[in-house]
Amino acid sequence: MAQVDVERDGAVLVLTLNRPKRKNAMTLTMFALLADAWADLSADDDLRCAILHGGTARAFCAGSDIREFEHLRHDASEQKILFEDMVLRALAQLPMPTIAAIDGPALGGGLELALACDLRVCKKGVKLGFTESRLGGLAGNGAVRVTHLVGPARAKELLFTGEVITTDQALAWGLVNRVVESGSALEGARELAHSVVARGPVSNRLAKRLVDAAQDTSLDAALSMSTVAQQQIFDSEDLHEGVSAFLSKRAPNFQGR
């Protein structure tokens, strides 16, 4: 049985973690499969949105499979940390918008995986948290990403205590974008993806690049990037198709060019 499944539906792709008996606990093998998937997605110019889901497992992802920790000490960076960080960075750097559909608990490394996506849709009542400190561990990648989202004080509370939070609290803090009251988070993510793919794909890819740059570079450098991006928009066929559709009172037919 494949531990990572991929399903394409037009311009939307759903990537499903498929290790239900272990609550999608992540092994190095699964990270390698994700790395291959990200490489394929990155090269797909026709893909407009990607969804990451936990499938039928009782958790979105329960984090790393701690059975792989036993023999890791001084060589952990070479054997585990660097590779997993690379996979999470590759997810965050995908050119198209990405959505984590969280239908079960996202704990530890599972929450790190969700935070590497652009958006998070969560089923009401699901638990979220960085539980590594309970084992004396650390969510290194997650510590950085969660601080960008919720600020240092709330990030430290999550990391120091290892406590889980409710979906309502996660929504209020900005940790998730939407909470689904009825139905599944996957259904909610598909609905959100439908709104994303209906917009200009060139615009969305550039918007993602600019928002990320706003967090990672100086204000002046990010504004310079925005000027270049705006010119790319005016050079694109999509903008002029959008203008034509608006004037003709019809739905635009964006081609991603």
Query: Which residue in the list 78, 112, 181, 237 is annotated as catalytic?
Result: 112
Radius of gyration for the chain, computed over Cα atoms and rounded to the nearest angstrom: 19
Query: Which residue in the list 132, 163, 181, 241 is annotated as catalytic?
Result: 132
**Residue indicated by tokens 């531990």:** 3
- Rounded-to-integer distance, Cα 35 and Cα 54, Å: 17
Q: Which tokens go with 173?
A: 């803090």
Instruction: Give yes or no for a contact between 23 and 71, defined as CB atoms under 8 angstroms apart.
Output: no
What Å distances lie between residue 157 and 60, 113, 133, CA to CA?
22, 19, 11
Q: Catalytic: 70?
A: no
Degrees to nearest 5, angle at CA 186 with 185 and 192: 90
CB atoms within 10 A of CB 101: 29
Q: Catalytic: 181?
A: no
Catalytically active residues, by annotation: 112, 132
